[in-house]
Amino acid sequence: MSAMDAAKRSWPAPSAGRVPLWVYSDPDVYALEQERVFAGPTWNYVGLEVEIPNPGDYRRTFIGEKSVVVTRTKDGAVHCFLNKCTHRGVEFCRTDCGNARNFMCPYHQWVFDLKGNLIGVPFRKGVKGQGGMPEDFDFKDHPARPLKVEVVNGVIFASFDHDVPPFKDYLGESMYHYFTRVFDGRGLRLLGHERQDIPCNWKLMQENIKDPYHASLLHVFLVTFGLFRADQKSEVKLDPSGAHAVLVSRKGEQKAGEGLEEMASFKADYALKDPRLLDPVKEFPDANTVIMQTIFPNLIVQQQSNTLATRQIIPKGPNNFELYWTFFGYENDDEAMVTRRLRQANLMGPAGLVSVDDGEVLEFTQNGARPHPGDLAVMEMGGHDHADTDHMVTEAAIRGFYEHYARVMGFKREGA
Amino acid sequence: MELQFEVERLLYEYVQTLDDGHLERWPVFFTEECTYQVIARDNFDRGLPLALIRCESRDMLHDRVTALQQANVYGPRYLRHLVSNPRVVERHEESVLVQSNFAVLRTMLDEPTKIFLAGRYLDRIVVDSGVLRFSEKRCIYDTLLIPNSVTYPV
């Protein structure tokens, strides 16, 4: 098998609600994803503008497994290019962030400017008349490969495909509305990063945030404190392609309601000794308190109470990915709001009172599924389609994801 | 000399209590008004305020323990803390600032023991009701990419 052979695979079920477990572990499928998903016509999150505010500022990150550098030039524009020297393939930028005039490859000192143009090759004309590059060697032919960049209200996206549609069209009107709820054009304030190595396939993370069914069962913290619960007013919405989705909900009371008897996680007598941890204030015009948005292929935007974060998915092989969390607030937050956001950050991240459950359960899922690539997962809660719904008892957004994924990967459906 | 001894005894008892699984005794090592933070080294160095865990009182430490015991879902594991090189770096009238190194080893059921986290403690230690306690404990970890989850206290 190879990525080429993987492209000839077919989806062994008539619907996207039955998912072959080989999607989580097959190395050839993984290799094909690197080409068709991450290097394909997709917008990939690569950071926030507030992380590179000044000319010369840069950050190093990844799209799929490929290392890229995101820079700001003197004219204020944002650029993104492959972090790979065109000479011998060396990853020339080795620090996470900083300020630079240009990037010099450490191996043979080829120099790239802040747009990725090759501007220097030592001994190009040889030494004492000996050696050097051939006459026809032209710097212009060897830039660090530039990506297409779009900055959307402070959020930076990049694409290997220069024909990718504009971000707004890529996301669709309804998803763009939710995206610009949090990224509404206000200046952002960077609070910090958290990095988590989760031993499971990257798609399980996308699924996790498209799956409201688990959220109201697995997470005692969400259920008990009414932060996200199946008996609350809520919605699942998708873009027409199924690629992107949001889970929308509102904080409810810590009390019994219909369906609660099936939520083993609800603990009526559970209380906090220091309730400051859960002291949310309303800060958006609508009444929703949770909006979790998944953007294909590598971004989750988290709006849970007052804790706001992007979660970037960086695949590291079929059985592993990094989740890179960036917590932020707004430039005009007062001190109390900054403290509130930092306090509520206790719910999220690698030590999050909510999200620890996810990282652990995703690991269990990978361990359970990996030895059974020929089996199918059943994701038929709420039916077979991926239409918008106004409740949480559905896996519609996961089905939408796999509809889109199978299309992008070129997997034809059997028996459809 | 006696201070050094008392400080070391506090640090060793602290980690031994965690490794023995006496989570309910963890908050007792802190003053009632205290701060406990687990912070990534890069955030700390850049002055970014985000912490992986941020407790602002002994009650919040208790809430962490309750969550661990009653709320969170995680695979079984043993953790073992190694503390070394404790040094008093500042002396004040009411407190001392102590820095030490830590390494946390993690043993999962189906894996050999691995180094889970490495870093340093930056502790403000005071005398409270006749015993030494932490009024501030910052666990600044070098292991930026965390192996899945931090469940138990560092």
Is A114 in contact with A100 (CB distance < 8 Å)? yes
What number is the average pLDDT over the span B76-96? 97
| A362: nearest CA partner in chain B | B148
8 Å CB contact of A197 and B145: yes
Show residues of chain A in contact with B33, CB under 8 Å: none
8 Å CB contact of B72 and A357: yes
8 Å CB contact of A346 and B54: yes
| A351: nearest CA partner in chain B | B150
* pLDDT in the model for residue A216: 78
Q: Is the pLDDT of residue A113 over 90?
A: yes
Q: Which among A192, A270, A363 has the least Cβ separation from residue B75? A: A363
Q: Is the pLDDT of residue B82 over 90?
A: yes
What number is the average pLDDT over the span A197-212? 97
Report d(CA A370, CA A410) in Å as an integer: 22
What number is the average pLDDT over the span A371-381? 97
Nearest CA-CA distance, residue B149 and chain A, Å = 5
What number is the average pLDDT over the span A45-64? 98
DSSP A312-355: EEEE-STT-EEEEEEEEEETT--HHHHHHHHHHGGGSSTT-TTH
Q: For B11-48, how does the pLDDT look when each residue is reduced to its tens digit (9 = 90+)?
A: 999 999 999 999 999 999 999 999 999 999 999 999 99
Show the tokens assigned to B83.
């503390």
| A333 and B CB contact within 8 Å | no
Q: Is the pLDDT of residue B10 over 70?
A: yes
Question: Which ranges constitute the DSSP H helices of B20-128?
Answer: 41-46, 58-66
Q: Is the pLDDT of residue A382 over 70?
A: yes
Q: Is the pLDDT of residue A229 over 80?
A: no
Q: Is the pLDDT of residue A1 over 70?
A: no
Question: How many beta-carbon pairs below 8 A join chains A and B?
Answer: 116
Nearest CA-CA distance, residue B92 and chain A, Å = 28
Q: Is the pLDDT of residue A416 over 70?
A: no
* pLDDT in the model for residue A228: 77
What number is the average pLDDT over the span A166-183? 98
What number is the average pLDDT over the span A172-192? 97
| A268 and B CB contact within 8 Å | no
* pLDDT in the model for residue A126: 95
* pLDDT in the model for residue A256: 62
Which of A195, A316, A326, A338 has the highest number of chain B CBs within 10 A, making it the mutation to test binding with B? A195
Q: Is the pLDDT of residue A265 over 70?
A: yes
Q: Is the pLDDT of residue A257 over 80?
A: no
* pLDDT in the model for residue A219: 87
What number is the average pLDDT over the span B135-146? 98
Show residues of chain A in contact with B139, CB under 8 Å: none
Q: For A318-357, how does the pLDDT look when each residue is reduced to its tens digit (9 = 90+)?
A: 999 999 999 999 999 999 999 999 999 999 999 999 999 9
Q: Which among A191, A345, A353 has the least Cβ separation from residue B67? A: A353
Q: Is the pLDDT of residue A258 over 70?
A: no
Q: Which pTM value belongs to this model?
A: 0.96
Q: In what order do the strands lie in the sheet with A299-304?
A: A234-238, A245-249, A290-295, A299-304, A307-315, A321-330, A188-198, B145-147
What number is the average pLDDT over the span B121-127? 98
Show the tokens assigned to A305.
């109470």
* pLDDT in the model for residue A217: 87
Q: Is the pLDDT of residue A223 over 90?
A: no
Beta-strand pair A188-198/B145-147: parallel
Is A46 in contact with A156 (CB distance < 8 Å)? yes
- State what percent of residues in chain A have pLDDT above 90: 85
Show residues of chain B in contact with A349, CB under 8 Å: 52
| Cβ contacts of B96 within 8 Å, gap of 6 or more | B3, B7, B88, B90, B124, B125
Which of B35, B148, B150, B152 has the highest number of chain A CBs within 10 A, making it the mutation to test binding with A? B148
* pLDDT in the model for residue A2: 77
* pLDDT in the model for residue A269: 79
Is the ipTM higher than 0.95? The answer is yes
